[in-house]
Amino acid sequence: MSSVPRGSLKNPIHFLALGFGSGMAPKAPGTFGTLAAVPIVAGLSLFSSSTYLIALLVVTVSGFWICGKTAKDWGVHDHSAIVWDEIAGFMLTMLWVPVSWTSLIVGFALFRLFDIAKPYPISWLDKNVSGGTGIMVDDLLAGIFAGVLLQLFLFVI
């Protein structure tokens, strides 16, 4: 993947798309983008489920535009440094999950597994949907898959 255009961290939209800079990691930017979501999830867990849901909706809805605008500005389909979608996807994984070290670690691992492996229909969405919607929707579905498995895991243990 090509390098991040110079000065991207100075553009507030690109800064958000880069997951506050976490997407600029030279290796595994998606993993670092997901790591950037961990303190967000932990912090939001101190508030009501309604507050968490509103924050998730804001991150998700704004993400369609943030990711799409950044990709368009950079002239790419889905640059690996754009990780706002990972933040939204991990937040979705952790929706209605009691936050603990166990749930954060298992949720993180499950989300990364689905985001990297991209089983069908995630892979189809990744290849066939363009723009901000395409960047966001595969990670949101990965978040749903991971969230369902996380809920099952927590129910069993």
Question: Residue 2 above 70 pLDDT?
Answer: no
Q: Is residue 1 part of a domain?
A: no
Q: Is residue 82 part of a domain?
A: yes
Domain count, the chain: 1
Alpha-carbon span 78 to 62, nearest angstrom:
16
Question: Residue 1 above 60 pLDDT?
Answer: no
Q: How far is CA 58 from CA 4, 27, 95, 113, 155, in A?
A: 25, 28, 14, 25, 29
Domain range for 149: 8-156
Q: Residue 157's pLDDT is what? A: 84
Alpha-carbon span 98 to 46, nearest angstrom:
10
Q: Is residue 116 part of a domain?
A: yes
In 3D space, the residue among 95, 21, 19, 85 whose CA is nearest the CA of residue 52 turns out to be 95
Could you tell me the pTM of the whole model? 0.96
Q: Is residue 2 part of a domain?
A: no
